């Protein structure tokens, strides 16, 4: 896709150049035909100087600037540029002198009445216009380089997002899968129907992790289904001492969103919000309209949480923060707060 955009941009750029040159060629002929006396030598002289200017511009833009100036070879760039300016002056003067005899004769008659010789004025005019054209070519070359760097940076950011998404998937703890399988194994002997339902949910969860979320953005409805399946499987592990409140919408508008933005917060809530010795709670909620997604988790902090678990969880949260910054710059607000016994996350994403 990046290559396709590059080719498309180049095609547009050269189309605009071609249109500009067609206009440059047509306008003098139109003006001479409408207001001139039929003497085309002036038009030919204009074309000669325009062709010289074009040669200086495109040599600088297509060759000198990218090959020398932008590669830290400025001295070589200026030496070659001066040689081109001098060479184009003598070439254009030669053509004008030997091909346009009438223009030469008129110029000699004009020189008799002027204090400044036409040759001196021609050198000055050629030098100034050449410097301006070269500066313009340099500016366009630098802008093209900046645009290329910007596109390359976007590609790097995209690759970084993909790698961080893969890393985030790995943050959905492998222990969760092992524990869930153990719970399902236990359920088989107690409640076969519930065990089958748990296997189906685990299958859907893994399919979303491994396949559906690889296709770029997902629908918010799919993301909510994934979260519900994850929460239902986690319920198999918790006791009745845990006060669990889930408020996820049953149906939402057709909204496309980056996958796996919320799971790290949910996993973190279950990891640190469960205590088997004392009362604990987990609250997970989401509110959605056409313009905004509001997501919130709130959980108790179990005293049995280890320092290593905290670091592991922190990696997942930092990963999501980076993804939000890259995917929704200026369009999201993430607030994470912690007290001695409560951890809270509030995330708001503007979809406009």
pLDDT of residue 335: 95
Position 2 confidence tier, pLDDT thresholds 50, 70, 90: very low
pLDDT of residue 1: 42
Position 308 confidence tier, pLDDT thresholds 50, 70, 90: very low
Least confident of 175-179, 191-195, 229-233, 348-352: 175-179
Position 214 confidence tier, pLDDT thresholds 50, 70, 90: low
Q: Where are the beta strands (DSSP E) in the chain?
A: 218-219, 242-247, 256-257, 280-288, 292-300, 332-338, 342-350
pLDDT at 186 over 70: yes
> If you average pLDDT over residues 253-271, what whole number do you get?
88
> If you average pLDDT over residues 178-194, what whole number do you get?
79
Distance between CA atoms of 338 and 318, rounded to whole angstroms? 16
Backbone angles phi, psi at 50, to 5 degrees: -65, -40
- Give the residue among 321, 324, 325, 3 at the shortest CA–CA distance from 155: 3
pLDDT at 309 over 50: no
pLDDT tens digits, 163-184? 766 666 665 656 667 777 887 8
- Give the residue among 194, 306, 209, 327 at the shortest CA–CA distance from 257: 327
Alpha-carbon distances, residue 50 vs 8, 32, 96, 123, 313 (angstroms): 28, 16, 13, 15, 66
Query: What tokens were used for 7?
Result: 């080719």
DSSP for residue 93: H
Least confident of 19-28, 101-110, 135-144, 264-273: 101-110
Instruction: Output Rg (C-alpha) for the chain, integer angstroms.
Output: 35
Query: What tokens were used for 109?
Result: 């008659």
Domains and CATH numbers, the chain: 2-160 (no CATH), 172-350 (3.30.565.10)
Specify the higher pLDDT residue, 62 or 100.
62
């Amino acid at each position: 896709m990046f290559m396709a955009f590059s080719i498309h941009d180049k095609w547009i750029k050269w189309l605009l150049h071609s249109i500009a040159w067609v206009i440059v060629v047509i306008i003098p002929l139109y003006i001479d035909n409408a207001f001139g006396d039929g003497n085309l030598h002036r038009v030919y002289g204009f074309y000669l100087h325009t062709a010289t200017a074009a040669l200086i511009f495109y040599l600088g833009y297509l060759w000198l600037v990218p090959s020398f100036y932008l590669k830290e070879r400025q001295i070589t760039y200026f030496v070659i540029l001066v040689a081109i300016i001098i060479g184009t002056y003598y070439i254009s003067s030669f053509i004008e002198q030997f091909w346009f005899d009438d223009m030469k004769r008129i110029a000699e008659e004009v020189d008799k009445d002027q204090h400044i010789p036409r040759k001196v004025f021609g050198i000055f005019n050629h030098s100034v216009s050449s410097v301006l054209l070269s500066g313009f070519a340099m500016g366009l070359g630098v802008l093209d380089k900046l645009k290329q760097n910007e596109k390359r940076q976007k590609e790097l950011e995209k690759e970084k997002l993909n790698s961080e998404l893969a890393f985030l998937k790995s943050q959905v703890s492998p222990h969760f899968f092992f524990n869930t399988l153990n719970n399902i194994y236990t359920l088989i002997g107690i409640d076969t129907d519930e065990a089958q339902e748990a296997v189906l949910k685990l299958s859907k969860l893994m399919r979303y992790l491994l396949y559906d979320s690889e296709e770029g953005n997902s629908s918010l409805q799919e993301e909510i289904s994934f979260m519900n399946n994850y929460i239902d499987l986690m319920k198999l592990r918790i006791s009745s001492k845990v006060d669990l409140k889930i408020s996820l919408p049953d149906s939402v508008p057709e909204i496309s969103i980056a996958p796996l933005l919320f799971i790290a917060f949910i996993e973190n809530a279950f990891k640190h919000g469960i205590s088997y010795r004392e009362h604990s709670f987990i609250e997970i909620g989401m509110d959605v309209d056409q313009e905004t997604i509001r997501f919130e988790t709130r959980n108790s902090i179990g005293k049995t949480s280890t320092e290593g678990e905290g670091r592991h969880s922190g990696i997942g949260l930092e990963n999501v923060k980076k993804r939000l910054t890259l995917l929704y710059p200026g369009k999201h607000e993430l607030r994470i707060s912690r007290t001695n016994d409560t951890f809270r996350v509030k995330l708001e994403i503007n979809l406009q």
